[in-house]
């Protein structure tokens, strides 16, 4: 019994150790080499064309204390290279009365949204999206929830 077990073990080792050079396959190198494409602003769809209004909105948002705090935070971890960035969009419907603004860190790989604002373009009234409750809050209400 032990002898047959040893013989089967020896036989399976010999079969597993196939030292034949005939089975070597030649692997062809991949002929397609793709370079990563450089991302540019030209690839983004930006439908907000009123730059004067955009500047008024971003100036208004920069007066908010929590936006200033986030701006300093982004400036500190980016070695004073970046501050808070804004993505301003009119929205999908032309009858929309609010301009949507996302504020956050515009990194090399992605945009990290910190705040989602809704701004009335006529009165510059700002509302902040409470992500947890999915509600639009005034700035005062939002600041109360952050304490």
Is the per-residue pLDDT at 92 higher than 80? Answer: no
Percent of the chain with pLDDT over 70: 73
**pLDDT digits over 107-146, tens only?**
888 889 999 999 998 899 999 999 888 999 999 999 998 8
pLDDT at 127: 95
pTM for this structure?
Answer: 0.62
Q: HEC profile for 25-69?
A: CCCCCCCCCCCCCCCCHHHCCCCCCCHHHHHHHHHHHCCCHHHHH
pLDDT at 49: 63
Cβ contacts of 9 within 8 Å, gap of 6 or more = none
Quick one: which H or E segment has residue 141?
helix 139-146
pLDDT at 42: 43
Distances (CA, A) of 19 to 9, 13, 16, 27: 18, 12, 9, 19
In whole angstroms, give the CA distance from residue 130 to residue 113.
Answer: 13
Domain ranges in the chain are: 44-146
- Segment 48-62 mean pLDDT: 84
Percent of the chain with pLDDT over 90: 36
Higher pLDDT, 4 or 31: 4
């Amino acid at each position: 019994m032990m002898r047959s077990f040893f013989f089967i073990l020896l036989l399976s080792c010999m079969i597993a150790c196939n030292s034949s050079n005939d089975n070597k396959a030649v692997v062809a190198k991949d002929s397609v080499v793709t370079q990563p494409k450089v991302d540019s602003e030209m690839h983004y769809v930006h439908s907000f064309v009123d730059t004067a209004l955009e500047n008024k909105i971003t100036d208004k948002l920069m007066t908010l204390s929590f936006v200033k705090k986030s701006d300093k935070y982004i400036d500190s971890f980016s070695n004073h290279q970046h501050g808070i960035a804004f993505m301003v969009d009119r929205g999908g419907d032309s009858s929309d009365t609010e301009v949507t603004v996302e504020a956050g860190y515009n990194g090399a790989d992605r945009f990290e949204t910190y705040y989602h604002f809704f701004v009335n373009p006529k009165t510059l009234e700002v509302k902040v999206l409470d992500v947890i409750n999915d509600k639009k809050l005034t700035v005062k209400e939002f600041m109360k929830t952050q304490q």
